[in-house]
Structure 1
Amino acid sequence: HEGGEYVTLTDILGAEDAFGDMDFKVAGTRDVITALQLDTKLDGIPASVLGAALMQARAARLTILDVMREAIDEPGEMSEFAPRIITVRIPVDKIGEVIGPKGKMINSIQEETGAEITIEDDGTIYIGATDGTSAEAARSTINAIANPHIPEVGERFLGTVVKTTTFGAFISLLPGKDGLLHITQIRKLHGGARIDDVDSVIKVGDKIQVEIREVDDRGKLSLVPVEVVEREAAGEDLGGDDHRPRERSDRSGDRGERGRGGDRDRGSDHHRTRQRHRESGNS
């Protein structure tokens, strides 16, 4: 600004900063401005001057974008090894579940994934991680708690054994969602051999790839090892199924009905014979 006249210069180097009265930085896309930064040595700047500066900055921005597009038509994918911060939105009433009692859940997520997690009061969660794998692992765990996925038949999971019983093992698929791997399915992993102690072949903490075979009316999940599914699909007979007693055939049931019916008929004949005998005696 000199002699009542304003002149706006455009560059991308900042060489005029020391000599100018205003430093005005504008960043954005073809359609919108995403950031502004203004330093001025003057007591005030007319709105018309600022408006003209914005239009001048837009023309310069579009020129730069055209040059960039000639070199690369779209942004490249971020390296999976690059640090990042990602955002997840959850319902406000789910914040407590993500944090857990005394912070147990959120601390567990951070320890297992290596990510740093910050939760805002409006349900916005910021996940900071040194690589993409850690960030995605944390995001998946948080979504499983706050935006749960309902498992369906045929889906496969890498589950963790959380409990063993005499009839099988319970496998954790998602936070708060377990399924039963019945002992008959475990036997198939061991050639159909009898298993007297489940803990001798599968232990708490073991990881196992499983497929959901059935979801009952109460939402209980029945699981089968993926290895068993694939080997049976290839035609292998793995054994391990229960040997249950056969039900009686219809023919045996018919014989029983005929036997009981015959007894009733004979009883009726006998009753009628006695009745006729008494009538004869009275006459």
Structure 2
Amino acid sequence: EARLAILGVMAEAIPGPRDDVGENAPKIEAFEIPVEKIGEVIGPKGKMINTIQAETGADISVDDDGMVGIVSVASSDIAKVEEATRQIMLIVDPPTAEVGAMYTGKVVNITKFGAFVNILPGRDGLVHISKLGGGKRIDKVEDVLELGQEIEVVVEDVDPNGKISLKPVGDAPQRENKRDEKPAAKPDEAPVAVSDEDEDGDVDNDDTVVADDSDDS
């Protein structure tokens, strides 16, 4: 009877399991990804996974059991878990770039032959150096672009292997720090000398007063 009484009190307080955990309780989402995608999710030296964690505020871990990758995303805010999961899935199964589509991308790598621009999660395209000068030849990509710079591009081609060729939209790009530079101020012009005129309008070119030593007659 005592046991039934306790169960009755519990049923009144919590008639059934909650649909969701408490507001401050950690939420964890775990899912599998292909083993070959683990490197892309983590990124070079952890760059990609660290970026997602910084942007979403969620904690992410990736394990490998030899068959599949297991991703765990945790946060006390379910919205952060969902956003981090969304970004990871875009890397695992990225959208396809379409020829003719325009994107605002970010320069993620610069080489001697061009700049790689990230246009979609997990999708980078190459802007060849020959397309960066606005019809003029440039010696170095760094003359017009820098890492992290945003640039408007259009997809020119996607080859059978998925490699994307891009070209800038509009005028030739310029490094952001060059766009911010102000034109050098012109040196101050030398002041123009103003001649004194006497009452008759004659110009007096010599301020020196010569005394008349002759005797008054």
Aligned residues between the structures: 161
1:90 alignment partner, SS class: strand
Does residue 159 of the first structure (1) align with residue 148 of the second (2)? no
Does residue 26 of the first structure (1) align with residue 15 of the second (2)? yes
Give runs of aligned pairs for residues 194-273 of structure 1, distance below 5 A: 194-225=137-168, 227-228=169-170
Write the distance in 2 (CA, Å) between the matches of 1:114 and 1:221.
31
2:49 alignment partner, SS class: helix
Write the distance in 1 (CA, Å) between the matches of 2:44 and 2:157.
32
Write the distance in 2 (CA, Å) between the matches of 1:100 and 1:183.
26
Which structure 2 segments of 5+ residues have no match?
21-25, 173-217
Q: How far has the Cα of 1:211 moved from its partner?
A: 2.8
The structure with higher relative contact order (CA 8 Å, sep 6+) is: 2
Structure 1's 157 and 113: CA in aligned 2 closer, same or farther, altered over 3 A?
farther
Does residue 116 of the first structure (1) align with residue 63 of the second (2)? no
Which structure 1 segments of 5+ residues have no match?
9-16, 36-83, 229-237, 240-283
Question: CA RMSD for the aligned pairs?
Answer: 4.4
* Superposed CA offset, 1:147-181 (max 9, x none): 33333324444432233345432213356542111
Write the distance in 2 (CA, Å) between the matches of 1:145 and 1:125.
15
Write the distance in 1 (CA, Å) between the matches of 2:121 and 2:167.
19
Q: How far has the Cα of 1:199 moved from its partner?
A: 0.9
Give runs of aligned pairs for residues 1-283 of structure 1, distance below 5 A: 22-24=9-11, 25-27=14-16, 34=19, 85=27, 87=29, 89-91=31-33, 93=35, 96-97=38-39, 98-99=41-42, 105-119=48-62, 123=70, 125-128=72-75, 138-174=84-120, 177-188=123-134, 192-225=135-168, 227-228=169-170
The structure with more helix, counted as a fraction of residues: 1
Which of these two proteins has the greater Rg computed from alpha carbons? 1
Normalising by structure 2, report the TM-score. Answer: 0.51
Counterpart of 2:73, as a letter, is Y
Structure 1's 196 and 100: CA in aligned 2 closer, same or farther, altered over 3 A?
closer
1:202 alignment partner, SS class: coil
Q: How far has the Cα of 1:202 moved from its partner?
A: 0.5
Counterpart of 2:92, as a letter, is A
The structure with more strand, counted as a fraction of residues: 2
Q: Is the 8 A contact 1:27 1:34 kept in 2?
A: no
Partner of 1:232: none
Q: Is the 8 A contact 1:115 1:138 kept in 2?
A: yes
2:166 alignment partner, SS class: strand
Partner of 1:46: none
Q: Is the 8 A contact 2:27 2:78 kept in 1?
A: no
Q: Is the 8 A contact 2:110 2:141 kept in 1?
A: yes
Q: How far has the Cα of 1:110 moved from its partner?
A: 1.9
Counting aligned pairs with the same residue, the percent is 37
